[in-house]
């Protein structure tokens, strides 16, 4: 368990989020599924630094019946091909399922750690919502919030405006401290 990873939320970090009336929504069709222009180059920087880029995403639209497994699979095929992430972990449940994998719970992070031999405490989480940050904090990962009008996040280890700034911060921290940090008090 010595690998370091950067866990990236999908929507709002690597994929453009649809915002309506101040609320963020995930793409439901392939036409709506648009990668952020800087996603590929920034993930390449993480890989070049020896960090494992892994996507972790809540997709409750599957449980709600508005997103099919086939469409989600095609979206993720497109994401893997264009961005070069190592793996994608999905929670297909809605809040009502009370599952261990739905962020803010850290089930997807634990599953990735088990599959890839990841040291969660030496890893990073980049997200655009409180759920992403809380999942990362639950396992002791260094959390970076991409601030958005809908983020609703009171506590993060760092706050940035762009994915490029997030990657800059991750790389600086990984270089200076080998990815280790003390989590903020809760």
Q: What dihedral do alpha carbons 94, 95, 97, 98 form, nearest 10°?
A: 150
Cα–Cα dist 56/1, whole Å: 19
Yes or no: say if 58 and 103 are a contact pair by the CB < 8 Å rule.
yes
Cα–Cα dist 140/137, whole Å: 5
Q: Which of 11, 128, 132, 134 is catalytic?
A: 11
Catalytic annotation present for 152:
no
Show Cβ contacts of residue 20 under 8 Å, excluding neighbours closer than 6 positions.
Answer: none
Q: Which of 9, 132, 134, 157 is catalytic?
A: 9
- Strand, coil or helix: what is 88? strand
- Which residue, 161, 151, 97, 116, is CA-closest to 6? 116
Catalytic annotation present for 87:
no
- Which residue, 159, 136, 137, is CA-closest to 148? 159
Q: What dihedral do alpha carbons 111, 117, 121, 123 form, nearest 10°?
A: -90
Give the residue numbers annotated as catalytic, written as ranges.
9, 11
């Amino acid at each position: 368990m010595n690998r370091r990873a950067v866990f990236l939320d999908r929507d709002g970090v690597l994929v453009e989020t649809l915002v309506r009336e101040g609320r963020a929504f995930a793409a439901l069709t392939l036409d709506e599924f648009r990668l952020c222009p800087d996603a590929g180059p920034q993930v390449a920087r993480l890989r070049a630094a020896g960090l494992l880029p892994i996507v972790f995403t809540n997709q409750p639209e599957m449980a709600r019946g508005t997103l099919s497994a086939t469409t989600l699979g095609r979206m993720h095929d497109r994401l893997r091909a264009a961005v070069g992430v190592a793996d994608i972990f999905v929670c297909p449940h809605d809040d009502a399922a009370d599952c261990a994998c739905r962020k803010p719970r850290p089930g997807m992070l634990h599953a990735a750690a088990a599959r890839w031999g990841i040291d969660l405490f030496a890893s990073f989480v980049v997200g655009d919502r409180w759920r992403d940050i809380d999942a990362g904090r639950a396992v002791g990962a260094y959390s970076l919030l991409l601030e958005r009008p809908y983020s609703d996040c009171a506590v993060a280890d760092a706050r940035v405006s762009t994915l490029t700034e997030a990657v800059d911060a991750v790389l600086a921290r990984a270089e200076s401290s080998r990815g280790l940090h003390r989590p903020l008090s809760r």
